[in-house]
Structures are given as structure tokens and as C-alpha cells.
Chains A and B, each alone.
Chain A
Amino acid sequence: AQSVTQLDSQVPVFEEAPVELRCNYSSSVSVYLFWYVQYPNQGLQLLLKYLSGSTLVKGINGFEAEFNKSQTSFHLRKPSVHISDTAEYFCALTGGFKTIFGAGTRLFVKA
């Protein structure tokens, strides 16, 4: 069975501070990992993805994530957040045919 666990349901942070959104996964097969962002009443936008190769993946809007196979983690980071980064963030994996999503982390950036 495969699963994705996002350890924090909400992460409040001040503007210009760094942030890390945590994601752990479980799978018996090789997986591809993704982070998506969702703004209110909108669909999902791909932030970044890990397919293979370098474990440090850079995405849009200054986000990056590091794939750690030994810790089965794929944490999302940004060194300095903006008010506009306030949104819901979903970690997801594809191992086989389906994509499984984590429960989501609400990032709330305060002025």
C-alpha cells in the first residue's frame, strides 16, 4: 500500500521568513513525487516534481524540495515567503497508475 503523510495541517509564518512543509511517503515500489499548490476555488498548480536524478529539485515561485530516500521524505522549502504564498499545498506520489495525495498543509503568511 502507498501513502502520503503531510505532518502539519497548518503552518503560520511571517513574511520574509523561511518555511518548510513536511511530507513523508510510504511505498514498496519506486515513486515519482510532486508538490502542488491550490489557491481558493482553483485547481492544482504544479510547483515541482521529482522523477529521478538530482535529489534537490527546484520549482516555481522560489520553492525547492529534497528527495530523501532513506527517510522517505520530500519536504518543501522556501527561504523567504511572501503574502502571496498563502495557499494550500499538497504533496503527492505516483507509484504505478494512480496518484495519491496528502491531506494538505495550509500555509498562512502573516505581515
Chain B
Amino acid sequence: GAVVSQHPSRVICKSGTSVKIECRSLDFQATTMFWYRQFPKQSLMLMATSNEGSKATYEQGVEKDKFLINHASLTLSTLTVTSAHPEDSSFYICSARAPSGGVNEQFFGPGTRLTVL
């Protein structure tokens, strides 16, 4: 089946620094990738939709200048958390769409745990 990887799996950074998270589709090309944020004991909240070769579409309330998304190729999307603060600490999960059984399904990465000190 389709495999999506994320790197790093865990990152700890100081307040004010920027952190980049990579999302890769390993065995398929993904024209569309999604970035989610998950707070403890809560559901996934869609942050943005990343389209290859174009600007990401952000959900309402998500700061595009803080969460920079780049989808430079069909297998890689990156999320950069700029000037991170402790409240940005969260579990970030990406997903990628791939055809499966005639439907475009989403396949999820394993997630990245960000801790901002």
C-alpha cells in the first residue's frame, strides 16, 4: 500500500527558532498533501492543503506566515513552523492522496512531535 513518511519523528527546539518537518510519499506521487495538527486527547485539525507547484490553501484561523508550507515536488511537502513558541507544541501529521480502489484515499504519515521550550 501507499506509504507516507515524516521526518523528524520528534523535535525539541527553543522558543523563537524555526523548525522544518518533511512529509514524503515513498511509493507514489501525491499532487495533494494535507497537514494536520493534533493536541493531546483531541482530534486532528486540518491546517492546510498543499498542492504541488502552487501555494497552499490554509484553513481559517491558521497563520500562513507562521506555518510555511512548500510542496516543491510530487513526493515532498514541508511544513516550517517559524519563530516557534511553546503554544506551537503539538503533534503534526501529514497525509497524501493516492488513487486506491477508484477513490482518492488519504494515507497518513506517522506524525512529528514538536516540543517548544
Q: Footprint of B on A, CB under 8 Å?
A: 32, 36, 41-46, 49, 51, 90, 94, 97-99, 101-104, 106
Contacts and interface: CB of A to CB of B under 8 A. Distances in A.
Contacts, number: 44
- For the residues of A in contact with B, the DSSP-based class is strand
Contacts of A94: 105-106
B109 A43 contact: yes
A99 B106 contact: yes
- For the residues of B in contact with A, the DSSP-based class is strand
Contacts of B107: 46
Nearest to B93: A43
Given A41-B113, A42-B111, A43-B111, A104 B103 contact: no
Given A41-B113, A90-B43, A51 B103 contact: yes
Interface of B: 6, 34, 41-44, 46, 49, 91, 93, 95, 101-103, 105-111, 113
B87 to A, nearest CB: 20
A46 B91 CA distance: 18
A36 B44 CA distance: 12
B42 to A, nearest CB: 7
Contacts of A43: 6, 93, 108-111
A98 B95 CA distance: 11
Contact of A103 (B42, B109, B113): B42
Given A42-B110, A42-B111, A43-B93, A49 B105 contact: yes
B111 A104 contact: no
Contacts of B111: 41-43
Contacts of A103: 42-43
